[in-house]
Structure 1
Amino acid sequence: MEDKAFELLTKMYSEMQSGFKEVRQDISDIKQDIVRLENKMDENHKALYDGYKQNSESITEIRADIKELKSKVENQEIQLHVIRGGK
């Protein structure tokens, strides 16, 4: 009877160790997946930031162009006013 109990305990221990090994492997795989996702998210974040930066720079340039055009239009209005004789 003791031999059967010992064999059962040995078998259970062996199965538990095998199960623990599988769990550790699964955890290792999950960690690798998380690292891959973090790297991919970091790349996407950088791309989004670059896009935001480009948009911001473009808006700044457009504002400068609008300011310059506004100044030219105002100057033309003044010249027209002078040409028309102040009317």
Structure 2
Amino acid sequence: MTEKDLLELIASQVSDLTKKFDGLDKKVDNMEANMATKDELAEIKGIIVRMENEHSLKLGALFDGYTLNAEKLDQIEKLVAKHEETLLTKVK
């Protein structure tokens, strides 16, 4: 094997290694992009959980208010019915 052949072989191997290294660079870039996407997804999931908890508390408060209003209306209806009875008995 001559020096020229040896240099061509080395150049060929260096070229192959460069191609493989470029392929590895692309794979690493893709992995980094995927990891960034996964981090963003985890952050979004955390935000969604927090929003669900906050909405749950707000809906609970609204339901409690609705229940209190319904109870108060029942009390008022009973009082009005009582007053109507009193008025009707006095009118007769």
**Same fold per TM (> 0.5)?**
yes
CA distance in 1, matches of 2:63, 2:32: 46
Higher Cα Rg, which structure: 2
- Deviations 1:19-63 (CA, angstroms, capped at 9, x unpaired): 111011001001001101110111111011001101100110010
Q: RMSD value over aligned CA atoms?
A: 0.9
Match of 1:3 in 2: 17
User: Map of 1:35-46 to 2, 5 A cutoff?
Assistant: 35-46=49-60
| Structure 2 spans left out of the alignment, 5+ residues | 1-14
- Give the counterpart letter for 1:33 in structure 2: I
Aligned-residue sequence identity (percent) comes to: 19
TM-score (norm: length of structure 1): 0.84
| Higher RCO structure, 1 or 2 (CA under 8 Å, sep 6+) | 1
User: Map of 1:4-83 to 2, 5 A cutoff?
Assistant: 4-78=18-92
Which contiguous aligned blocks of 4+ residues in structure 1 show a shift greater than 4 angstroms? none
| Structure 1 spans left out of the alignment, 5+ residues | 79-87
TM-score (norm: length of structure 2): 0.80
Give the paired residue count: 78
